[in-house]
Amino acid sequence: MLQNLYNVIVRSVENKIESRISHKKAGVILFPEDFTDLGSNDAVRLALHRLEKKELIRRIAQGIYVRPKISDFIGELTPTAEDVIKAIIKRDKIKVVPTGVYALNALGLSTQVPMKIVLLTDGSPREIKIGKRIIKLKKTTPKNLSIKGEISGLVIQALREIGIDNITDQEQQKIIDLLKEEDKIKLKYDISIAPVWIQKIMKKAIDNDQN
């Protein structure tokens, strides 16, 4: 009797979730938390499992789903790791700062597409596997997240990855050129909290402008 009642409840939750999803765009990333107003956590997760079997949604990682988007040319399109990162930032209202090879790639200093994306965050540390790529959210100090400029934040992390003894003149010039596009107020603040050797490089973007 209780089991039958529970099945009725889950079916009702499933129908409500299905109706809500049907009004969303194809390719949208979904989380169980998006539907907590429709039922208990267990009921929502079971309903999502059923909707996955019906192929209304796809599970792309633990607790992360997508409404499938189909291309006439290449078939089903899978969300990128970057799409998932944006969705997590929006859901959890967290800050992230790209690091390592990912920061180098974002600045055009490396053509290598990292299979492991490491992001500093003020949110919960975790690892998420999206296809063959891994997103690692790494807890960090407030100072590392106090960066104001998007470009200057990437530059600081990219230079940390390269190292003080390994940066080439070509890389340094490209970084200076990129920093010229940064908001000057944000850039000056970010220079003030960067390591000393990185400050010396970043200041050249302001000095060159003034000259």
Please write the tens of the pLDDT for every residue from 126-159: 999 998 899 999 999 998 999 999 999 999 999 9
Q: What is the pLDDT of residue 76?
A: 85
What is the pLDDT, as a whole number, of residue 209? Answer: 62
CATH 1.10.10.10 segments of the chain: 2-71
> Is beta strand 133-139 parallel, antiparallel or unpaired with respect to 116-121?
parallel
How confident is the model at residue 3, as a pLDDT?
65
pTM: 0.84
Written as six digits, the tokens of 197 are 């050797």
- CATH of 2-71 among 1.10.10.10, 1.10.287.990, 2.170.140.10, 3.40.50.300: 1.10.10.10
3-state secondary structure of 55: coil
Can you give the pLDDT at residue 70? 86
Q: 24-54: string of b/e by CB count within 10 Å (b at 16+)?
A: eeeebbbbeebbeebbeeebbbbbbebbeee
* CA 122, 125, 126, 130 torsion-angle sign: positive
